[in-house]
Amino acid sequence: MPPPASTPAWQALADHHRAAAGSHLRDLLGDDKRTEALTFALGGLCLDLSKNRLTPDTLALLIALADERGVAARRDAMAAGEAINATEDRAALHMALRGRAEDGFAVGGTPVQGEVQAVLDHMADFVAGVENGTRTGATGKPFTDVINIGIGGSDQGPRIACRALAPYRRRGLTPRFVSNVDATDLTEALEACDPETTLFVVSSKTFTTQETMTNAMTARRWLTGALGSDAVAKHFCAVTTNDDAARDFGIGDDALFGFWDWVGGRYSVWSAIGLPLALTLGMNLFRDFLAGARDMDRHFLETPLAENLPVLLALAGIWNRNFERAAAHTVLPYDQLLDGLPDYLQQLEMESNGKAVDRDGAPVAQPTAPVVFGQAGTNGQHAFYQLLHQGTDLISADFIAAVAPAHPAGDHHDKLLANFLAQPAALALGRKAGPGVPPHKQFPGNRPSTAILLDRLDPHTFGMLLALYEHKVFVQGVIWNVNSFDQFGVELGKELAGPLTRALAQGVEAPGLDASTRSLLARIRRARSGGDGS
């Protein structure tokens, strides 16, 4: 496929961008019809693109780009279970995890919905046992804490979902998450728990992930030190494709949950990786979460591109990244329950599309994923919004809020929503120079943002929101012609860490080190031996 910047649709957008160079959002936002044309809704989710510096004509040109790049065909290939992750020869069929039998998902012609349903049924039985007390710890006490041990998508997905849906948790079971190989992470979680009432979920596709298995082994020693080795089968379960390794760890077959190589880690919260969420919400609400994502999937698969919310969100991002030249993108949820969403989307976007080589192995000819960061509003307003409003770099933004508060209390929510409305307006409109307005109080405005407004934050709408972003990232990957489903960029550092781990633990040499790394390793050794490190 030719580079996107060489295509007629891209050139038409470049010409359009040059022609609109003098336009300002304060003028564009005076047009009610434009705002109406750039606002879209699905169920309890509204997407407002009107504070991006684009018009319906811009959107039409972006849709033409999506058509030219084959977005619909690539989407359909993904849904058909084709090996669109070509570098790893795998399908990317996470939509099947929240699908139904009538959706017909298959990989290599083999239907997968039966296998998916079997895992969900196994999860339901396990969750019911924990809820009704038939599944307990080794001493017969019910579980009060569940500690998820994973990393990457095996941590981020269930972590942010448990946080976002905290008001819906059933009482009596507290979810905790351990991912960092730094022992502090696990130690602090264990200090809050009682071995007799703690359940561990070890999430690792291969059951060999270094950070996860290091933490799992330490957690097992903590448990067996208190309750003996026979307790492992009562207190540990595993989500993995490597059942033999999990059994060797001491986990029984009734606590093994499988998933598939066509599920990428950052797309896996819908699978048994979501077991901590199912345990804390109950299976019915977990199914509501899946149903919300499926609603977005069906919309993505069946709706024309010009009315398709994930496609439109992706195209606004393409416009800001490649034509407006925004090098960074910030996610600003005006809901404390979504304070982990920026971290989740960092991985989803930057690991998926942070690529400098296209699907054909050629260097990309245009910027791909922006730097993604963010923080819950209103906290971010007192941290980095200064740069958003008056900094020298253009940064695009997503503002997210729910109309109904999770916790009604006085006028808290009115003040929260007022800031959700005011900040993107200030970014767009700015403040002109004038009498009594010194330069340091002037704001250029014309800073683009998108608003995503939920009727309420519940399992269904949260499922819709995450699926919206998943499909957005996919569409952008298609347009940039990158493989959004591999992540080879994370591997080199891991390869280098192996010899260095042995060098630190055993005092052996690590060959091929650069001068800086050799110097730091020597300093660590001197400090460990009682020197001052100098």
Q: Per the residue annotation, which of 51, 351, 355, 413 is the catalytic one?
A: 351
Distance (Å, whole) CA 518 – CA 526? 12
The three-state secondary structure class of 406 is coil
Q: Per the residue annotation, which of 141, 415, 441, 494 is the catalytic one?
A: 494
Greatest Cα pair distance, the chain, in angstroms, is 78
- Any idea which residue has 């190989």 for tokens? 181
Distance (Å, whole) CA 37 – CA 60? 11
The size of the chain, in residues, is: 534
Please answer whether residues 207 and 245 qualify as being in contact, where contact means their C-beta atoms are separated by less than 8 angstroms: yes
Q: In 3D, which of 515, 470, 456, 474 has the Cα closest to residue 359?
A: 474
Q: Is 205 a catalytic residue?
A: no
Asked, as a colleague might, if the bond just before 378 is cis with ω within 30 of 0, I would say yes
For 164-258, strand residue ranges (E) read 174-178, 198-203, 236-239, 256-257
Distance (Å, whole) CA 483 – CA 362? 12
Burial class (CB in 10 A: 0-12, 13-18, 19+), 126: buried
Return the structure tokens found at 424.
């993107």
Q: Is 351 a catalytic residue?
A: yes
Tell me the CA distances in angstroms from 523 to 94, 495, 498, 510, one per residue in order: 46, 22, 19, 15
Q: Which region holds residue 350: left if phi is over 0, alpha if psi is between -120 and 50, else beta?
A: alpha
Distance (Å, whole) CA 367 – CA 272? 35
Return the structure tokens found at 48.
């407002």
Q: Per the residue annotation, which of 382, 407, 440, 495 is the catalytic one?
A: 382
- Any idea which residue has 């090996």 for tokens? 83
Give backbone dihedrals phi and psi of 358, rounded to 5 degrees, phi first.
Answer: -85, -175
Q: Is 382 a catalytic residue?
A: yes
Tell me the CA distances in angstroms from 57 to 93, 383, 496, one per residue in order: 34, 36, 50
Q: In 3D, which of 324, 318, 343 has the Cα closest to residue 482?
A: 318
Distance (Å, whole) CA 473 – CA 398? 14
Q: In 3D, which of 179, 194, 185, 214 has the Cα closest to residue 145?
A: 194
Please answer whether residues 241 and 264 qualify as being in contact, where contact means their C-beta atoms are separated by less than 8 angstroms: no
The catalytic residues are: 351, 382, 494
